[in-house]
């Protein structure tokens, strides 16, 4: 018997406890949820044959649970017509039936990694057994992430997918559908669920183990950062470069990373054992070097190091603190009530820099807002690249300070506050800056990349600073900035569609939110999840009392406890197959870019 999930219907708030990752199908969300049939696989196939030629809507009669012996197939939502989004299904079995070793599903981390592995395995099985394109599953990138496409608990494994139910015009192609459900779908599912059965190839089980171990080692590496008080780690031998600007595949023949002796540290991981590499300590780290020598590649690997990577990626042992944030300029973005006064004062139009709002921020104001917002969300580490920055926000050299008097220039550049941000506020920075030496005074360490090799040039930089001194202005970081308190806007969002498109865009009510500058969103499924999360926050939660970090913490608790389905359980049941867990801080970044944000 496959255990049934908790049938209780929940709202976003007032949520009762449920096992993490268990999704709920047996529940009902009111009158819109049709009666569920049940039967055997043969009965389903017979029923499909009999539906041949009938009106497309008759497919709805198949909603229910179908027992295939090796697994149970749920038909959860049937598309209204052949052109609508495909129908939603799930397959469920037990770890025991699969022969999943219990020591691979003992912890929540292990279960996330096993589920991620099974999503990838299912995709390969579909390509092999159901290549026609009728069966669909989410695409995955190289990051190991929590996904609604598969959930694993100690007594239940569930895969979710979509099927395009076949039609000729608007009538059912019953015999074609019967083949899909007699062969394609069950073959692909059995192949996936057998990946780790006792009689499956040993190499599958080894691959699964390696996947889980990669995830656990990355988590352990992130824990080692916290323990040792580091902000990032890049292991010797890591392959950081990607094969192209539009690919996340490792570059063949890339020069493996090697840490400078002076900064090399050692950690012991549960599976890899002793690992050596560059440990970045807190404070201000400046990455310098000639153009095309690998500076942005190093920073890019660190920014992705907030996530674990699949074995073979090259970046498995690159880690940054989980809430490290890449900030960049994004002219044109919306900003709502952000205190940008550490960077910008007396704006030319006389508006208030302590509550700066704009429908169309400039390069410098957008990056100033992004930094303050990240600090508000309690990031421990900012990642900044000159390539994607507003130069005038980062630095202003001596000549320019002379030419444009301070009271005419509204911008206090980051260079004047970066030290107090690190040492006063506790927010470290790793910044790529090849074009100016002005940061050398305030750097705690300077890394130089030379033909992809990394050197510690901190001492050399000190000598340069001594030989060519400049007047340094070290301004404090204001410690009394209060976090903003968002207001719910039911009516604005409620009843409107929530949708995501690719990585970069989501739609909320009648608003489009552009996320193209939120670089650490790495899969479209995260964007889709963020769309749901924003809707939840804005519909129900934002009461004007909790501030932004508190709201996100509450949401995080719900997601940790109840899984991704918590977001879609209110309203009509959705059976989402494509949700991927985003970071708390990226949900916050999206809210910050929403043009309908109101503050208490
Ligand atoms: P920079 O930011 O210093 O100008 P990039 O990081 O953009 O340089 O790297 C320039 C080029 O070198 C890119 O095409 C990148 O893929 C490649 N590259 C970076 N690191 C390595 C490496 N370790 N081995 C081989 N190629 C690399
Ligand atoms: Mg660069």
Query: Could you read off the pLDDT of 39-57 as tens digits, one per residue?
Result: 999 999 999 999 999 999 9
Please indicate, yes or no, whether residues 373 and 281 belong to a single structural domain of this protein.
Answer: yes
CA–CA distance, 572 with 298 (Å, rounded to integer): 44
CATH code (residue 418): 3.40.50
Percent pLDDT > 70 in the chain is 90
CA–CA distance, 559 with 477 (Å, rounded to integer): 33
Asked if pLDDT for residue 368 goes beyond 70, the answer is: yes
Please indicate, yes or no, whether residues 295 and 271 belong to a single structural domain of this protein.
Answer: yes
Output the pLDDT for position 505. Answer: 96
**Mean pLDDT, residues 490-517:** 82
The phi, psi pair for 320, rounded to 5°, reads: -125, 160
**Mean pLDDT, residues 133-160:** 95
Please indicate, yes or no, whether residues 379 and 524 belong to a single structural domain of this protein.
Answer: no
Please indicate, yes or no, whether residues 445 and 475 belong to a single structural domain of this protein.
Answer: yes
Pocket flag, ligand 1, residue 254 (CB < 6 Å): yes
**Mean pLDDT, residues 12-24:** 32
User: Which of 244, 252, 297 has the most ligand 1 atoms within 8 A of CB, as the residue to mutate?
Assistant: 297
Output the pLDDT for position 388. Answer: 98
**Mean pLDDT, residues 508-527:** 94
With both helix axes pointing from N to C terminus, report the angle between 548-562 and 584-592 in degrees, rounded to the nearest 10. Answer: 140
Mean pLDDT, the chain, whole residue set: 90
Confidence class of residue 326 from pLDDT cuts 50, 70 and 90? Answer: very high
Please indicate, yes or no, whether residues 171 and 255 belong to a single structural domain of this protein.
Answer: no
Asked if pLDDT for residue 31 goes beyond 50, the answer is: no
Please indicate, yes or no, whether residues 406 and 278 belong to a single structural domain of this protein.
Answer: yes
- Domain assignment present for residue 492? The answer is yes
Asked if pLDDT for residue 406 goes beyond 90, the answer is: no
Single out the residue in 436, 456, 482 at which a domain terminates.
482
Q: How far is C-alpha 268 from the geometric centre of its chain's CA atoms?
A: 27
Output the pLDDT for position 22. Answer: 33
Asked if pLDDT for residue 496 goes beyond 70, the answer is: no
Pocket flag, ligand 1, residue 255 (CB < 6 Å): yes
Quick: pLDDT tens for 329-341.
999 999 999 999 9
- Domain assignment present for residue 166? The answer is yes
Please indicate, yes or no, whether residues 575 and 590 belong to a single structural domain of this protein.
Answer: yes
Asked if pLDDT for residue 360 goes beyond 70, the answer is: yes
- Domain assignment present for residue 205? The answer is no
Confidence class of residue 493 from pLDDT cuts 50, 70 and 90? Answer: low
Structure tokens at 109: 């981390």
Ligand 1: which residue has its CA nearest to atom 5? 294
Query: Residue 105 sits in which domain range?
Result: 34-200
Asked if pLDDT for residue 15 goes beyond 90, the answer is: no
Asked if pLDDT for residue 198 goes beyond 80, the answer is: no
Lowest mean pLDDT, pick from 70-84, 193-207, 305-319, 412-426: 193-207
Structure tokens at 13: 């708030």
Q: Which atom of ligand 1 sits closest to the CA of residue 432?
A: 2
Residue scoring higher pLDDT (215 or 410): 215
Quick: pLDDT tens for 207-223.
999 999 999 999 999 99
Q: Which of 518, 450, 442 is nearest to 295 (CA)?
A: 450
- Domain assignment present for residue 206? The answer is no
Count: domains in the chain:
3
User: Which of 292, 300, 303, 383 has the most ligand 1 atoms within 8 A of CB, as the residue to mutate?
Assistant: 292
Please indicate, yes or no, whether residues 488 and 526 belong to a single structural domain of this protein.
Answer: yes
Pocket flag, ligand 1, residue 245 (CB < 6 Å): no
Output the pLDDT for position 408. Answer: 79
Q: HSE, CB side, 13 Å, CA atoms: give it for residue 386.
A: 19
Please indicate, yes or no, whether residues 392 and 520 belong to a single structural domain of this protein.
Answer: no
Please indicate, yes or no, whether residues 39 and 13 belong to a single structural domain of this protein.
Answer: no
- Domain assignment present for residue 208? The answer is no
Asked if pLDDT for residue 85 goes beyond 80, the answer is: yes
CA–CA distance, 238 with 245 (Å, rounded to integer): 19
Output the pLDDT for position 490. Answer: 57
Contact 369, 361 (CB under 8 A): yes
Output the pLDDT for position 11. Answer: 33
Asked if pLDDT for residue 29 goes beyond 60, the answer is: no
Please indicate, yes or no, whether residues 303 and 348 belong to a single structural domain of this protein.
Answer: yes
Please indicate, yes or no, whether residues 170 and 244 belong to a single structural domain of this protein.
Answer: no
Single out the residue in 157, 174, 200 at which a domain terminates.
200
Asked if pLDDT for residue 441 goes beyond 70, the answer is: yes
Pocket flag, ligand 1, residue 348 (CB < 6 Å): no
Largest separation between any pair of C-alpha atoms in the chain:
88
Ligand 1: which residue has its CA nearest to atom 23? 255
Residue scoring higher pLDDT (202 or 501): 501
Asked if pLDDT for residue 200 goes beyond 80, the answer is: no
Non-local (6+) Cβ contacts of 84 within 8 A are none
Between the ranges 22-36, 224-238, 503-517, where is the mean pLDDT highest? 224-238
- Domain assignment present for residue 347? The answer is yes
Single out the residue in 457, 482, 507 at which a domain terminates.
482
Pocket flag, ligand 1, residue 241 (CB < 6 Å): yes
**Mean pLDDT, residues 515-527:** 97
CA–CA distance, 221 with 317 (Å, rounded to integer): 7
Ligand nearest to the CA of 254: 1
């Amino acid at each position: 018997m496959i255990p049934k999930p908790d049938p209780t219907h929940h709202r976003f708030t007032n949520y009762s406890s449920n096992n993490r990752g268990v999704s709920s199908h047996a529940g009902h969300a009111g009158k819109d949820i049709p009666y569920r049939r049940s039967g055997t696989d043969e009965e389903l196939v017979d029923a499909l044959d009999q539906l041949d030629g009938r009106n497309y809507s008759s497919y709805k009669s198949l909603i229910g649970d179908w027992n295939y012996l090796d697994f149970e197939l749920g038909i959860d939502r049937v598309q209204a017509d052949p052109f609508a989004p495909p129908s939603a299904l799930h397959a469920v079995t037990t770890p025991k039936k699969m022969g999943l070793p219990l020591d691979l599903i003992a912890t929540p981390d292990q279960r996330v990694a096993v589920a991620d592995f099974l999503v990838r395995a299912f995709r390969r099985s579909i390509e092999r057994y159901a290549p026609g394109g009728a069966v669909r599953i989410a695409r995955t990138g190289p990051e190991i992430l929590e996904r609604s496409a598969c959930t694993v608990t100690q007594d239940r494994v569930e895969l979710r997918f979509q099927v395009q139910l076949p039609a000729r015009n608007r009538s059912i192609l019953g015999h074609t559908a019967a083949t899909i459900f007699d062969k394609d779908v069950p073959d692909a599912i059995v192949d996936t669920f057998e990946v780790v059965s006792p009689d499956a190839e040993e190499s599958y089980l080894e691959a699964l183990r390696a996947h889980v171990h990669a995830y656990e080692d990355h988590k352990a590496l992130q824990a080692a950062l916290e323990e040792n008080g580091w902000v990032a780690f890049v292991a010797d031998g890591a392959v950081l470069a990607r094969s192209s600007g539009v690919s996340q595949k490792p570059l063949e023949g890339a020069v493996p990373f090697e840490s400078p002796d002076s900064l090399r540290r050692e950690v012991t991981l549960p599976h890899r054992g002793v690992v050596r590499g560059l440990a970045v300590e807190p404070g201000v780290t400046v990455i310098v070097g000639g153009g095309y020598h690998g500076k942005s590649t190093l920073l890019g690997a660190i920014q992705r190091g907030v996530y674990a990577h699949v074995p073979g990626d090259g970046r498995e042992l690159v880690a940054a603190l989980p809430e490290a944030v890449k900030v960049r300029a994004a002219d044109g973005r919306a900003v709502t009530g952000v205190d940008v006064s550490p960077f910008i004062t007396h704006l030319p139009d006389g508006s208030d820099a302590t509550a700066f709002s704009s429908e169309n921020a400039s390069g410098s104001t957008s990056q100033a807002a992004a930094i303050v917002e990240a600090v508000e969300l309690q990031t421990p580490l900012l990642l900044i690249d000159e390539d994607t920055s507003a130069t005038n926000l980062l630095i202003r050299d001596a000549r320019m300070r002379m030419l444009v008097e301070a009271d005419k220039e509204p911008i206090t550049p980051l260079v004047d506050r970066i030290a107090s941000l690190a040492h006063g506020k506790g927010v470290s920075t790793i910044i790529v800056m090849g074009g100016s030496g002005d940061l050398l005074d305030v750097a705690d360490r300077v890394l130089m990349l030379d033909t992809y090799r990394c050197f510690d040039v901190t001492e050399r930089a000190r000598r340069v600073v001594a030989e060519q001194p400049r007047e340094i202005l070290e301004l404090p970081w204001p410690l009394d900035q209060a976090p903003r308190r968002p207001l719910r806007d039911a009516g604005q969002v409620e009843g409107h569609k929530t949708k995501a498109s690719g990585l970069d865009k989501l739609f909320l009510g009648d608003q489009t939110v552009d996320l193209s500058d939120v670089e650490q969103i790495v899969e479209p499924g995260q964007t889709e999840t963020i769309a749901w999360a924003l809707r939840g926050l804005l519909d129900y939660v934002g009461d004007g009392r909790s501030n932004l970090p508190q709201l996100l913490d509450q949401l995080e608790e719900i997601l940790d406890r109840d899984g991704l389905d918590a977001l879609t359980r209110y309203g009509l049941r959705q059976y989402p197959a494509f949700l991927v867990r985003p970071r708390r801080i990226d949900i916050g970044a999206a809210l910050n870019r929403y043009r309908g944000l109101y503050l208490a």
